[in-house]
Amino acid sequence: MGETGRDRRMKKLRRCLLFIACWILPVFFSAGCSTQKQPADETEAGRNLVVGFSQLGSESAWRLGNTASMEQAAKEHGISLMMENGMQKQEKQINAIRSFIAYQVDVIVFAPIVEDGWANVLQEARDAKIPVIMMDRVINTADSDLYDAYIGPDHYMEGVNAAKFLLKKAEEMPQETIHIVELSGTDGSSPMLRRFRGFHDLIDGDERFEVLATVSGDFLRSKGRKCMENLLARYGDEIDVLYSHNDAMTLGAIEAMEEQGIRPGEDIVIITVDGEQAAVDLLKEGKINCVVECSPKLGEAVMDLAEKMVNGEEYPRNTHPEESVFTEYDDLSNLGPRGY
Ligand code: GZL
């Protein structure tokens, strides 16, 4: 991956020519692109690092918190962040990565909306000798060289932690068979697949539990509400537990419950993932029983890693942030603001 002095001079020339092209052809950046800061001119300490970031969307408070974390960290590191919002479309993310390659950014960061379909564009980044950081979600690939590092949560353990809470809660539940409904995230995304797997690996073999249905709310509040309305229409008071793959869908589901006079956290036990402020507030109110934390604050780790990559320093292949589980059994009085 090393560059020679000639490579750097050629790269700088190509970048200057491309910068002019990009400035003259603003259409080059599709709608939704927010270039935080044009790369600064040459400075004594050397040019600002340029990071191209393909964010997957703006679907939840978690995602907005993740974007804010990236922007803040870039600013603190003096890194020029070129961010493109994929608006929940893989094709837009792929196009954004191609534009970063053409622009010859120093590092590419992407949060893959789904696990499949990335091999070609990541091969192009590899051919262009641009290091790639995969952030938040993961891709499904046999070729682990398609990216250089991963920074993000352990979604499988989040599912396991959700199940562990339910196993504990079940000890005080009177039902002989505990009926569960599940709101799953975006189909084909790693958090959806792994939160599902982690939860079911503990629950499916236990005859006390029966999963009535798993339906996708696509990580969206509106769909979470709609799905819960449909589940209540279909199963009514048979439902004892809701396991939801993110807080946004949970908030929508709670709206649907309360509209029908159902007491969330009491009539239906609620287990949710993310740990956004609204969910923790409802946990404190007794309307949610368990919040599995999934931290969106990945910006600092990403920018630190990007600098290490460009400076030729050692860096870890995988970085998982510390994550907690907040439950009705905990003293939450000292839990500070969540920041998302
Ligand atoms: C998890 C992240 C998920 C969150 C959702 O790492 O990818 O995407 O759980 C968000 O809130 O939409």
Does residue 274 line the site of ligand 1, with CB under 6 A? yes
Answer yes or no: do 90 and 110 share one domain.
yes
Answer yes or no: do 88 and 141 share one domain.
yes
Domain boundary among 294, 314, 333: 294
pLDDT band at 293 (very low <50, low <70, confident <90, very high): very high
pLDDT of 5: 65
- Average pLDDT of the residues in 92-103: 98
- Asked whether residue 44 carries a pLDDT value surpassing 90, the answer given is no
* Residue 245 included in any domain: yes
* Residue 180 included in any domain: yes
* Domain CATH code at residue 113: 3.40.50.2300
- Asked whether residue 34 carries a pLDDT value surpassing 50, the answer given is no
**Residue 159 CA to ligand 1 centre (angstroms):** 13
- Asked whether residue 301 carries a pLDDT value surpassing 80, the answer given is yes
- Average pLDDT of the residues in 279-295: 98
- Average pLDDT of the residues in 148-164: 97
Answer yes or no: do 118 and 97 share one domain.
yes
Answer yes or no: do 97 and 181 share one domain.
no
pLDDT of 15: 63
Answer yes or no: do 220 and 286 share one domain.
yes
Of all protein residues, the one whose alpha carbon is nearest to atom 6 of ligand 1 is 136
Of all protein residues, the one whose alpha carbon is nearest to atom 9 of ligand 1 is 246
Answer yes or no: do 130 and 193 share one domain.
no
CB within 8 Å of 151: residues ≥ 6 apart: 133, 134, 135, 136, 298, 301, 302, 305, 318, 319
Q: How many CA atoms lie within 13 A of 16 on its CB side?
A: 8
pLDDT of 20: 56
Answer yes or no: do 289 and 160 share one domain.
yes
* Residue 3 included in any domain: no
Of all protein residues, the one whose alpha carbon is nearest to atom 3 of ligand 1 is 191
Six-digit token pair at 304? 């630190």
CA–CA gap between residue 318 and residue 316 (Å, rounded)? 6
pLDDT of 12: 63
Answer yes or no: do 207 and 82 share one domain.
no
Q: Which domain holds residue 307?
A: 50-152+297-322
pLDDT band at 144 (very low <50, low <70, confident <90, very high): confident
- Asked whether residue 93 carries a pLDDT value surpassing 80, the answer given is yes
56 closest CA partner among 183, 192, 148, 156: 192
* Residue 203 included in any domain: yes
pLDDT of 19: 57
Answer yes or no: do 57 and 167 share one domain.
no
- Asked whether residue 28 carries a pLDDT value surpassing 60, the answer given is no
Does residue 244 line the site of ligand 1, with CB under 6 A? no
Domain count, the chain: 2
pLDDT of 275: 98
Best of 195, 246, 320 to mutate for ligand 1, by most ligand atoms within 8 A of CB?
A: 246
* Residue 218 included in any domain: yes
Answer yes or no: do 164 and 261 share one domain.
yes
* Residue 25 included in any domain: no
Answer yes or no: do 301 and 285 share one domain.
no
- Asked whether residue 195 carries a pLDDT value surpassing 60, the answer given is yes
pLDDT of 50: 98
pLDDT band at 33 (very low <50, low <70, confident <90, very high): very low
* Residue 235 included in any domain: yes
What residues pair up with 85 in beta bridges, in sequence order? 55
Does residue 169 line the site of ligand 1, with CB under 6 A? no
| DSSP percent split of the chain into helix, strand, coil, nearest 5 | 45, 20, 40
Six-digit token pair at 160? 């396991």
Answer yes or no: do 260 and 317 share one domain.
no
Alpha helices (H) along the chain? 5-24, 61-77, 90-103, 119-127, 155-170, 190-203, 221-235, 247-259, 277-285, 299-310
Does residue 51 line the site of ligand 1, with CB under 6 A? no
Does residue 62 line the site of ligand 1, with CB under 6 A? yes
- Asked whether residue 186 carries a pLDDT value surpassing 60, the answer given is yes
What phi and psi values does residue 279 have, to the nearest 5 degrees?
A: -70, -40
Q: Nearest 10 degrees: CA dihedral of 196, 198, 201, 207?
A: -70
- Asked whether residue 218 carries a pLDDT value surpassing 90, the answer given is yes
pLDDT of 143: 85
Does residue 224 line the site of ligand 1, with CB under 6 A? no
- Asked whether residue 43 carries a pLDDT value surpassing 70, the answer given is no
